[in-house]
Structure 1
């Protein structure tokens, strides 16, 4: 999303698309479509210009010199540079990767096993754990940004979901949802759209994403799926796209969830909580959703704590826009985690969660851009948006360091994968990103200042999927990578052969883009066996092929 657009048009906020397809989880007995008056709130802040360096996020990093391959080797990599380690930056540090794991993070790893045989790369840059997107709706991420008419603000998610312009905008994704997961057109779209979102994520340093696909067979390979296919043991996350007061979370459903909490089958329950700040219906008032979740409103079964008062510690609250101190303290006592999605919240509601207070209280917070429809295109842009918003609003707790923490260990903790990813530490998986910038005053600025052109190397399980072209031969996942233009800088990007669930005939970057453009243009997809088009659908899209959201937006 355009930072200046959102910040100039709205005062503060979170993300919008947590709802999935327009009516996918709203039952007929819920008053989900009741409109309310969402006029600009009294506490709306004056617009700011995110392009103004005096009023925007702090900057202070510089482009790093090119990376150098110091020694060829086998079995892994020794990366040198400024290391963003869990205990603080190591300015001249090393990260040793052997196979799919990190084995050493220190000033000197030369004494570690395999250090004498692996390839040594002096990155001259900043080395971070891979970024973790803790909130996305990835199959929408081929769609461009939706801007409400007259920059209208909404009171809650049910209002914008009922907006006719919004429904027309997301119709390409909603249509495929309506076909069902058994329809080959659905599988083809889901896999292509998901792969497209994953490629954008990798290009911008994200290695794990939550919210990848309703069609689970698509979420195999490339970026880790926090819910379905992360390759880190048993999947223990459950996601409810509905709001906490909707009938999808009625007492019958809650009994199943509580049993999963008790057995350990589910250790995180992601729910869209308090998405908005006002509403009039029993099922649509975001200010009552914590009461609903706790069994005090509409339903009697608590998902916060057991009948004996023992906290489940499983809640993952996405948004929490209207939370006050009492809500935050209750959530903290119940061991809840949070995901902050500021850009989407601001565009839709003109306000966001009380992030400064959340950080003051030490609440566990992750970061997620939500989707391209109303949020940032990817996590790096979301970080810059958050810094600009915080600078304008005087929220001093939001810093480059706190945002990098939200996007790494905070994200891993949110999706309950912190035992395996989210930090540069021995025995964790080698999800590692090298950002081609350095910042002596604040090393974390090297991350928050980075764009696609600055992302020097992206590794998942010690295998490189994106990076500087001169590093391709030495690091790339396979020999079938594409060359892409990152705003004037050539990069390698490995798309083909990265997953068994790839769409037939659409594995390379160009093929995936062509398939999605064609779908937007014509309303149908090619048959998976290549024999011709499947039964065409009536052309009803307001978007066309030229509206495909770019993998890399050089204006951001």
Structure 2
């Protein structure tokens, strides 16, 4: 496991090992707690015992006795809660930014675009995510979790079922793995009134977070999906467990009704790239709706929450500043924690909560502005449950068999991918995952040609009894939320013929971070739907 290093007494030639991440550690630096009082300690201390924050002290005199003899780790940075993302489609995040061909007015238009969306997003995700070569699935999981981690994310949403491949670096809201934590579930596809009455109402009664893509689009059809939640004499299918994603089709007067929900998740960049506008978040604020921020997915979103924060700030400025930087930072920390019902565990730096932390270099800016303005190579370390998972070289030490060195924006980092249990991904390096996906995307036409034959061959073997017959209807591949009909081996064989091999083309694996992708902002500015105010300020 990773251990923090600190330069010893003056004149010492090498750093000295002082404390272990999962045991007892004292971190010093500016602490932005995001607690209910917005407490900021300019030179404070976070005391960590195991996976838990044991104490937060504004000065050394307040340190508990059991931590008083530990020499604090001087981070020379600012410590924030780890970032929480409540809208992401993780399995798609190995795909490049999509060259959106036109302005759409609702989500079904681009999802049914078999000339562009299918060959550039749907089929490549299917070919790799459900490939009989399971190393592609493992590589996707490793790559997309590292992509989130490199942006400071410690908790993510985006898996509609517990997936064995996602049991590693960051928390998964659909499978928290912690006793007493609400377990989220949800629905990505639109629902009509009968289904809402028979299914969604029942799910809301389960008293756990329910994610629902609501009114994604700008036309009357998109808004109709919101009005469909009106169950007449049974009231609205909106309660404190509903987390509504997008809400771009809602009119300003609709947000008063939505205030009964846990909140909404705002993904401004994706909304602008696909639809040319975003949700009426100023009306949501006035209506009392809690707002979290999500980057959606790589085909039409930011690389991570650090990027999405910058888009949100530009929108906030365009609206006259109804939010400000602290509110934006809360959209990725304390607010999503409260929406999940996880605010007793994460989302702020307080005694008794899990030690999910993001440490940024320096403390010279206004603290909330610092996070909103941060880029990936300004991260010093990311901790999940008291365990350093990513850290700047010189700040962290890992055993040689555990560590992997990566470079982010020219800075050297060490990455801890080791797991004591769950061998599915254990031992797969990020470098190996990148190499595997680079090859797969570059050879997509060839893989697509063999995909159907290989998948259906497995089906025949199972039907003949040469493989377990249970394999036919068992979950298969990494579940693709936007293509839920591809969850089983038999279904993948049946639908493999849909892939038009004359349309599918070679793709490139995108860099993991925006700072290492110099063309990223330019490609966003080239989008046909981007409003001028956003294009000018990116």
TM-score, normalising length: structure 1: 0.74
Q: CA deviation at 1:91?
A: 1.2
2:78 and 2:420 mapped to 1: Cα distance? Answer: 26
Alignment partner, residue 49 of structure 2: 98
Alignment partner, residue 286 of structure 1: 222
Q: CA deviation at 1:389?
A: 2.9
Q: CA deviation at 1:521?
A: 2.9
Pair 432,394 (structure 1): closer, same or farther in 2 beyond 3 Å = same
Pair 541,169 (structure 1): closer, same or farther in 2 beyond 3 Å = same
Query: CA-to-partner distance for each residue in 1:314-367, whole Å, 9 max, x for gaps?
Result: 1100011122343111121x2431111100001111111111232344421111
Query: Among 522, 527, 544, which residue is 2:506 paired with?
Result: 544
Query: Among 200, 203, 226, which residue is 1:257 paired with?
Result: 203
Q: CA deviation at 1:195?
A: 2.1
Q: Within the alignment, does 1:390 sit opposite 2:390 as a pair? A: no
Aligned residues: 450
Q: CA deviation at 1:123?
A: 1.4
Q: CA deviation at 1:301?
A: 6.1
Query: Among 175, 183, 205, which residue is 1:236 paired with?
Result: 183
Aligned-partner SS, 2:394: helix
2:334 and 2:165 mapped to 1: Cα distance? Answer: 26
Within 5 Å, give how 1:292-307 maps onto structure 2.
292-296=228-232, 304=237
Q: Within the alignment, does 1:315 sit opposite 2:242 as a pair? A: yes
Query: Among 360, 379, 382, which residue is 1:435 paired with?
Result: 360
1:507 and 1:290 mapped to 2: Cα distance? Answer: 43
Within 5 Å, give how 1:489-504 maps onto structure 2.
489-497=411-419, 500-503=422-425
Alignment partner, residue 131 of structure 1: 83
Q: Any conservation in 1 of the 2:176–2:183 contact (CA below 8 Å)?
A: no
Q: Any conservation in 1 of the 2:89–2:159 contact (CA below 8 Å)?
A: yes
Q: Any conservation in 1 of the 2:295–2:301 contact (CA below 8 Å)?
A: yes
Q: Any conservation in 1 of the 2:358–2:379 contact (CA below 8 Å)?
A: yes
2:421 and 2:84 mapped to 1: Cα distance? Answer: 20
Within 5 Å, give how 1:410-489 maps onto structure 2.
410-440=335-365, 442-473=366-397, 476=398, 479-489=401-411
Q: Within the alignment, does 1:277 sit opposite 2:202 as a pair? A: no
1:499 and 1:192 mapped to 2: Cα distance? Answer: 18
Alignment partner, residue 466 of structure 2: none
Q: Any conservation in 2 of the 1:136–1:369 contact (CA below 8 Å)?
A: yes
Q: Within the alignment, does 1:80 sit opposite 2:28 as a pair? A: yes
Q: Within the alignment, does 1:374 sit opposite 2:322 as a pair? A: no
Alignment partner, residue 154 of structure 2: 207
Q: Any conservation in 1 of the 2:164–2:424 contact (CA below 8 Å)?
A: no
Q: Any conservation in 2 of the 1:194–1:213 contact (CA below 8 Å)?
A: no
Alignment partner, residue 170 of structure 2: 223
Q: Within the alignment, does 1:343 sit opposite 2:266 as a pair? A: no
1:252 and 1:93 mapped to 2: Cα distance? Answer: 52
Q: Within the alignment, does 1:154 sit opposite 2:69 as a pair? A: no
Give the gaps of 5 or more residues in structure 1. Answer: 1-65, 280-284, 306-311, 526-533
Query: CA-to-partner distance for each residue in 1:499-529, whole Å, 9 max, x for gaps?
Result: 625347x71011111121222233449xxxx
Q: Any conservation in 1 of the 2:358–2:381 contact (CA below 8 Å)?
A: yes
Give the gaps of 5 or more residues in structure 2. Answer: 10-15, 449-456, 459-492, 522-538
Aligned-partner SS, 2:240: coil
